[in-house]
Amino acid sequence: RQIANDLRQAIDRDELTVLYQPQHCLATGELSGYEALLRWHHPTRGLVRPDEFIVVAEETGEIFRIGEWVLREACREARSWAPELKVAVNLSAVQLGQTDIVEVVHGILVDTGLSPSRLELEITETAIIADKLRALHLLRRIKGLGVSIAIDDFGTGYSSLDTLHSFPFDKIKIDKSFLMKSDNAQARAIIKAVLALGQSLQVPVLAEGVETASQLDLLKEQGCDEAQGYYFGRPGLSPSLLARQADRQ
């Protein structure tokens, strides 16, 4: 298919960009880091969203090269931010199946000089259920590098609650679909339940898709640790890139 061919040349043609969306600590209100979000500027189709092309990249195997590119780019960029800021990078299920993923992550940390404690990898529930034992082994090795792991899109996949306690997660990210329905009492009950679950397992919870002050109030009241969403900021160019551009002017 054309899109698969085009994707193969996207890196070399400089069509991929990484945007960064702020994540805030709710207790202090301070910026804690950014999530790296990939964008593809296709020469004729315009902006293609990752929802459309990640699946294609997974089918063709291009995800390995793209995933490495994003990780390297994000680590390199984060190296020039304030040292307390972390960067969160999405790993696809297929990448997790790459045999040398631990070596890839380690190599990129060494090359870019980013402290492992500043990198967080986001993995979906679906990515780990395919082969639980293998996933558990991999996650332990990744954590052995000093990198942290967040479970992404929590509440939408096929995991069981058992996964939560048997895997060494450092963060739970509540999927934005729950926040988007937060005027609905059932969606609110789910948000509260996930926050309570995080508290009892002692795993910090980040809420995604926070758009309004009233959503933020609900989260604070329920003891949510971190939040991310348009209320705080949309995905944008790296803060250090913006600073470099300003310097040049």
Query: What minimum distance in Å lies between the beta carbon of 152 and Na ion?
Result: 5
| Interaction of residue 54 with ligand G, rule CB under 6 A | yes
Residue 14, classed as helix, strand or coil, is coil
Site for Na ion, residues 77 to 96, rule: CB under 5 A: none
Taking the C-alpha atoms of residue 72 and residue 76, their distance in angstroms, rounded to an integer, is 6
Amino acid letter for position 157: G
| 153 near Na ion (CB under 5 A) | yes
229 binds ligand G (CB under 6 A): yes
Please count the residues of this chain forming the interface with Na ion, following the rule CB under 5 A.
Answer: 2
Farthest-apart Cα atoms in the chain, separation: 54
In angstroms, rounded to a whole number, what is the distance separating the alpha carbons of residues 236 and 99?
32
Q: Considering only residues 84-123, where is the footprint of Mn ion by CB under 5 A? A: 90, 122
- Our CB check for Mn ion shows the closer of 34 and 64 to be 34
- Is 6 among the residues that bind Mn ion (CB under 5 A)? no
**Strand ranges inside the chain, DSSP E:** 16-25, 31-42, 46-48, 86-90, 119-124, 148-154, 171-174, 205-207, 226-228
Binding site for ligand G (CB under 6 A): 21, 37-38, 49-51, 54, 70, 90, 92, 102-103, 106, 110, 141, 144-145, 152-153, 176, 208-211, 229-230, 235
